[in-house]
Amino acid sequence: MAQDSAAASHPQSAAAHTRANVRAHTPAYQAYQILHVAFTIAPLLAGADKFFHFMVNWDQYLSPLAVRVLPVSAHTFMRAVGVVEIIAALIVAVAPAVGGWIVGLWLCGIVLNLLSIPGYFDIALRDVGLALGAFALARLATEFDRR
């Protein structure tokens, strides 16, 4: 009841609250929520799996060109990649307007790596689509992120 009297005494804040509720049910906001959850969970899982290889042996996705110039083994490098992906996921979780750009650019780097491996062009194409989704998240976050 106190809330009703507060809203009545401040009609502009009540109207703003109503607009915020309506906006939260728009397709654009729902798309933002889907992308926010997806680009938090996916890099977190992929990053953690670099240590366990439950989903796939990630070392196979490292370009032979990169393997030749790295000062560490492919497996060690991919573990470092896993740490970066976990950190990127955490940034997306708390600051999607920034994290979306980080994940998108990271995916572009993965695409360049994959393009240097014959037979992985389909995965490179998929990662281009993921990068575009991450960039879309970053843009939508400027509108919908409440921080």
One-letter identity of residue 9: S
Collapse the DSSP code of 81 into the 3-class scheme (helix H, G, I; strand E, B; otherwise coil) and give the result.
helix
Angle formed at CA 133 by CA 52 and CA 50, multiple of 5 degrees:
10
Model pTM? 0.83
74 vs 18 pLDDT, higher one: 74
Q: pLDDT tens, 42-89?
A: 999 999 999 999 999 999 999 999 999 999 999 999 999 999 999 999
Q: What is the DSSP track for 87-129?
A: HHHHHHHH-HHHHHHHHHHHHHHHHHHHHTSTT-HHHHHHHHH
Q: pLDDT tens, 87-110?
A: 999 999 999 999 999 999 999 999
- Token pair of 126 as six digits: 């998929």
